[in-house]
Structure formats: C-alpha cells, structure tokens
Amino acid sequence: MSCDLPRVSATFDRCVMVSLAARAHRMISHQFGRDLFSMPALDMLLDLYMCKDRQPRSLTSLCAASNASERNCQRIIHRMVERGLLQRSRDPFDGRRINIDLAPEAIEQLNGFFDRLVELLSGTELHDRPPGHIC
C-alpha cells in the first residue's frame, strides 16, 4: 500500500505548530472519545503555554482547561510541580487562591519541542519515503 496523497506545502512556525498540536489533540479526543484519549497534563501545559497573557492561572481555571476532575487535576499539577514543569504560588491579592504558572524550564522544553516539530515538518524526512511505504 502506498501513499498517493497530494503533497501539501506550508510554512510553519512555533506559534502555528502549537495551535495545530492543540487542535489535533482536541480533534482526536472528540473523534474517539475523551474517555480513551484524555491527556489532562498536556491540556494544562498547552493552555498555559498558549495563553501567556493570562499567566499565572488559578488552580480552578487550569483544572477547567483539562476537562478532568478537580481531584485528578490537582494530582497531576502536584506531579508537574515536583518535576519542575509548573510553579505554584498564593495569589498576592487573594490568599485563598492558588496560582499556577509554567516554570522557565518548562517554557524552554516546550519551545524546543515545538521547534523540533517545525523542523520535522519542514524537512525532507516526511517527503522522501521509499515507494510502498505505508502512511
């Protein structure tokens, strides 16, 4: 079986790639069901990464971005804080509110990840497949 699909030429940058990744993730979840294709950690990372003007986000707001239960989100956020991906702090204006922000290391890792995706799509690796290669 070969891929006789027309080649598409496009220009990608990091911002386009982030948007594309988020949309692809939502499409897969919608198509096959969130119960099978739910990734709350990715939802939260992408939400914080794409919405830098809204950082930091409240814990409650970030949980809503993932569509997972608040308890599950809190466990995931706790693990991401432990791994240095997120930073947790008290809101200076409302001591009851917990704010979550991307750690600088997480921003660097996400920048690198999306830059590599851009390089992958703009390189020849996807276009120079051997005849008969399954798509």
pLDDT of residue 126 exceeding 50, the answer is no
- Distances in Å between the Cα of 90 and the Cα atoms of 22, 109, 127 are 28, 25, 49
What does residue 98 show for φ and ψ, rounded to 5 degrees? -105, 130
What's this model's pTM, rounded to 2 decimal places?
Answer: 0.74
**How big is the chain by its Cα radius of gyration, in Å?**
18
Counting beta carbons within 10 angstroms of the beta carbon of residue 76, is it exposed (0 to 12), middle (13 to 18) or buried (19 or more)? Answer: buried
Domains of the chain: 14-120 (1.10.10.10)
**Is the distance from CB of 105 to CB of 94 less than 8 angstroms?**
no
Quick one: tokens of 4? 């006789």
pLDDT digit string (tens) for 76-121? 999 999 999 999 999 888 888 999 999 999 999 999 988 888 888 7
Per DSSP, helices labelled H in 6-102 are 14-32, 40-50, 59-66, 70-82
